[in-house]
Structure 1
């Protein structure tokens, strides 16, 4: 095997992924982020009955209007979101992560997390980065799963809806992502 494939190929892939990822992502101003998050949340609540019902009982809703994920073999993802309490922005967070494996492409998507319990919301604030999949239980809902929800079975800590998926990211990888509070 050549020197390039043994020593430099992994470094080349990391640099290529970083360059690709950094050109796709752009942080919004506080006003833009608030407006985008409010718009996508309104659209979600207007078009999805389950989200509307959850919003009535949620203690807070964290909205990431746009997460960008891109890479080849090594991928990164990033997006910024707004935490709404009582219908108003109360804090700001980012979602950052990376993955390694057989994967290629770029995609954008958004998601909203409905915090149903104060203890789940406290976990978001009390950590050095809230890792999805550890701590409070998160249920990702789609149209099929969401239709079986009733007010009697809202028993989980957090419900999440993914929306506005665009692009293609294919492959298998080891992933990790964190949600961390930021200043805006």
Structure 2
């Protein structure tokens, strides 16, 4: 005989989404009703991009050469992830081509899991070929896994990046305050152009 759940699954999902929303609201740095101007928002994102790249170079010195060779570099300095049964991620970033910011983007992702809490990470995507960059720029919304595969960088004990990874059209790095994260997946992350 099957036990009936005290709460219907739809109710649990709604509660989880509500808790994730509250968690995200608690993680924001802007007070409600005090939206930063577009210029400030752009400045904040650009400063975050610079800081993220500097930290990446310290953590994985070999990444500097890859960034220099990349046709485009998309950086999300702070992707907030909150979960309670149902999880969600959101962050803003900038695409740089030839060391100039070409546009601003958002990333969103959802997941189902049993971890409760919130955390922040940075994501750096390197478009190593002109074709990969053009397909990204010409897309109307872009999803990792569906529109392109991102090879997450593997850093060896010597600090070098795996040569197979370094030859892929799109290379990704995921970092936290503790350094590079290994074994994560960006599969399903949706990226869209935004106006700041």
Deviation at 1:147, TM superposition (A): 2.0
2:76 to 53, 64, 72: 64
Query: Which TM-score applies when normalising by structure 2?
Result: 0.77
1:21 to 20, 24, 27: 24
Taking the aligned partners of 2:148 and 2:44, their CA distance within structure 1 comes to 30
Given the alignment of the two structures, is residue 107 of structure 1 paired with residue 110 of structure 2, yes or no? no
Q: Which residue of 1 aligns with 2:63?
A: 51
Secondary structure at 2:192 match in 1: strand
Counting only pairs closer than 5 Å after superposition, residues 146-165 of structure 1 correspond to structure 2 as 147-150=160-163, 154-165=166-177
Q: Which residue of 2 aligns with 1:38?
A: 50
Secondary structure at 2:167 match in 1: coil
CA contact (8 A) 1:50 1:149 kept: no
> Structure 1 residues 183 and 148 mapped into 2: Cα distance closer, same or farther (>3 Å)?
closer
Counting only pairs closer than 5 Å after superposition, residues 111-150 of structure 1 correspond to structure 2 as 111-144=123-156, 147-150=160-163
Deviation at 1:148, TM superposition (A): 4.8
Aligned pair count reads 174
Taking the aligned partners of 1:117 and 1:126, their CA distance within structure 2 comes to 14
Taking the aligned partners of 1:77 and 1:182, their CA distance within structure 2 comes to 16
- Unaligned residue ranges in structure 2 (runs of 5+): 31-39, 179-186
Q: Which residue of 1 aligns with 2:7?
A: 5
Greater fraction strand: 1
Deviations 1:31-69 (A, max 9, x none): 111111112212323442321111221101111111110
Taking the aligned partners of 1:128 and 1:60, their CA distance within structure 2 comes to 17
Query: Which TM-score applies when normalising by structure 1?
Result: 0.82
Deviation at 1:165, TM superposition (A): 4.6
- Unaligned residue ranges in structure 1 (runs of 5+): 167-174
> Structure 1 residues 25 and 154 mapped into 2: Cα distance closer, same or farther (>3 Å)?
same
Greater fraction helix: 1
> Structure 1 residues 101 and 39 mapped into 2: Cα distance closer, same or farther (>3 Å)?
closer
Deviation at 1:104, TM superposition (A): 2.2
Given the alignment of the two structures, is residue 85 of structure 1 paired with residue 87 of structure 2, yes or no? no
Given the alignment of the two structures, is residue 179 of structure 1 paired with residue 191 of structure 2, yes or no? yes
Deviation at 1:163, TM superposition (A): 1.3
